[in-house]
Amino acid sequence: MALSPAPTGRSRLPAVDRVLAWPALADLIAVHGRTGVLDAVRAELAAWRASDRAPDDPALCDGIVLRLRAAAQPRLRRVFNLTGTVLHTNLGRAPLPPQALEAISDVGAGACNLEYDLAGGRRGDRDDAVAGLLQRLTGAEAATVVNNTAAALLLALAALARRREVIVSRGELIEIGGSFRLPDIMREAGCRLREVGTTNRTHLRDHAEAIGERSAMLLKVHASNYRIEGFSAAAAEADLATLARQHGLPFVIDLGSGALVDLAAYGLPHEPTAAQALASGADLVLFSGDKLLGGPQAGIVVGRADLVARLKKHPLKRALRCDKLTLAALEAVLRLYADPDRLAAQLPALRLLARPAVQIEALARRLAPLLATWLGATAQVDVVPVRSQIGSGALPVEHLPSHALRLTPAGPKRGSGRALEALAARLRALPVPVIGRIADASVLLDLRCLEDEAGFAAQFAAGASA
């Protein structure tokens, strides 16, 4: 058929009703529903009309199929995190163990005893699913859980320090990415920030001199995503705890990542645990569920029973509470901690962090030829040593030895930003998108977090790529 110029071409496009009656569309309607197919038909016809292409029924039909396929793809999808940052906030932080996924599906599919005491046959407390486990694992008197640690801090400030002063070292007035800035959270909670000391050095006497009539709390915030080195000083937690006690003030530590076990036992750098923070004298300790703990997003609060009770009674607790899926997953993850010997095998976050570099290198050597074939002449592949990061603010300076596939674009423009971005975009366009990082004129795929080797390889197997 010859190309016909508009408006003749447009007028020859079939009507919506005629297209819907095509036999090929009957199957699509059975799968996607009539409304979805109708939307796709309308959109495809509109695109043809706008493009002045000559009507071509088979091509039109293909276009409709592609639109339906794209529309059926969930917006939130699994990806391969090969960035080298294990707990990557943009990629959903900790991967969950199968025990947590089973608990989510079990509890999510129907009714559960979320706020129901099965023994007594009366109303229960949703925190009960995890409070006992958290108390056992940290030595705390009491525990409660909210949506995330930013929420936990907001709640603790609002419940314990509204309209009063919270004393914090200037070295800890941090921003943790996004819009989480400590001074902003303080303001939103209705507290007055009382900064003490300097950015690099704050002494116990700085905290002591700031205590007065209006003081409500001493707060210590883990510096998370940066570290002050060299000429620096901070008051010891035990000393701050004693000072707080002398003045009848609560001492609260926002640990951020907050490990539940000593990571050194798994060959990782040491990170303070929630139990240690409590043992040093903190009245409340806050930490995240989806950072080093390796569970779902949650903000965990452990500590003194009277203070936890005040948090639980505050109206914000209702607004910030966790849902049953989170609590089910968190309980399942906390149960794994009861068996420290098998923890590294059972908890994906810890397993990935503790993964030996030699194992990652062997994986890289197995996969390199496959990638080389897939890329053909467009890029060169080699295996290089790299350093992974823990991520999410944990141990920002410590790095874990790892290995990556280094993909270096070939051709005259090989080092250009455009060539690198084109290569990265090709990897992101795979059925399960592959997310690497760009460094040194290459795309690096750090294989530390690649456990589904077969699924990954299948995407690059001969004939699998578009």
Ligand X SMILES: *Cc1c(COP(=O)(O)O)cnc(C)c1O
- Enumerate binding residues for ligand X (CB under 6 A): 148-150, 176, 180, 221-222, 224, 254, 256-257, 288, 299, 392-393
- Residues 6+ positions from 106 with CB-CB distance below 8 Å: 328
Question: With respect to ligand X, which residue has the nearer C-beta, 171 or 299?
Answer: 299
Question: With respect to ligand X, which residue has the nearer C-beta, 25 or 137?
Answer: 137
- Residues 6+ positions from 161 with CB-CB distance below 8 Å: 189, 191, 216, 217
CA distance linking residue 414 with residue 421, whole number of Å: 11
- Residues 6+ positions from 33 with CB-CB distance below 8 Å: none
Three-state DSSP class for 439? strand
Question: With respect to ligand X, which residue has the nearer C-beta, 149 or 402?
Answer: 149
Question: With respect to ligand X, which residue has the nearer C-beta, 182 or 445?
Answer: 182
Q: How far is the CB of 435 from ligand X (least distance, A)?
A: 20
Question: With respect to ligand X, which residue has the nearer C-beta, 25 or 252?
Answer: 252
- Residues 6+ positions from 69 with CB-CB distance below 8 Å: none
Inter-axis angle of helices 357-375 and 453-460, nearest 10: 20
Question: With respect to ligand X, which residue has the nearer C-beta, 176 or 268?
Answer: 176
- Token pair, residue 233, equals 């000083």
CA distance linking residue 135 with residue 102, whole number of Å: 24
CA distance linking residue 7 with residue 4, whole number of Å: 8
Q: How far is the CB of 65 from ligand X (least distance, A)?
A: 41
CA distance linking residue 449 with residue 404, whole number of Å: 11
Question: With respect to ligand X, which residue has the nearer C-beta, 180 or 266?
Answer: 180
Question: With respect to ligand X, which residue has the nearer C-beta, 100 or 363?
Answer: 100
Q: How far is the CB of 260 from ligand X (least distance, A)?
A: 15
Question: With respect to ligand X, which residue has the nearer C-beta, 94 or 241?
Answer: 94
Give all strands (DSSP E) within 222-298, no chain letters: 251-256, 284-288
Q: How far is the CB of 298 from ligand X (least distance, A)?
A: 7
CA distance linking residue 305 with residue 276, whole number of Å: 18
Map tokens 């699924």 to a residue. Answer: 455
- Token pair, residue 282, equals 């903190």
CA distance linking residue 16 with residue 20, whole number of Å: 6
Q: How far is the CB of 178 from ligand X (least distance, A)?
A: 9
- Token pair, residue 4, equals 């016909």
Q: How far is the CB of 286 from ligand X (least distance, A)?
A: 7
What are the residue ranges of helices labelled H in 229-339?
237-246, 274-279, 305-313, 315-320, 324-336
Q: How far is the CB of 361 from ligand X (least distance, A)?
A: 31
Q: How far is the CB of 149 from ligand X (least distance, A)?
A: 3
Burial 370-385 (b: 16+ CB within 10 A, else e): bbbebbeeebebebee
Q: How far is the CB of 335 from ligand X (least distance, A)?
A: 21
- CA 328 to chain centroid: 18
Question: With respect to ligand X, which residue has the nearer C-beta, 185 or 241?
Answer: 185
What are the beta bridge partners of residue 388?
400
390 with 292: CB under 8 angstroms?
yes
Q: Which sign, positive or negative, has the C-alpha torsion 132, 136, 138, 139?
A: positive
Q: How far is the CB of 225 from ligand X (least distance, A)?
A: 7
Question: With respect to ligand X, which residue has the nearer C-beta, 250 or 393?
Answer: 393
What is the tally of helices (H) and strands (E) in the chain? 20, 15
Nearest-CB residue to ligand X? 256
Q: How far is the CB of 327 from ligand X (least distance, A)?
A: 15
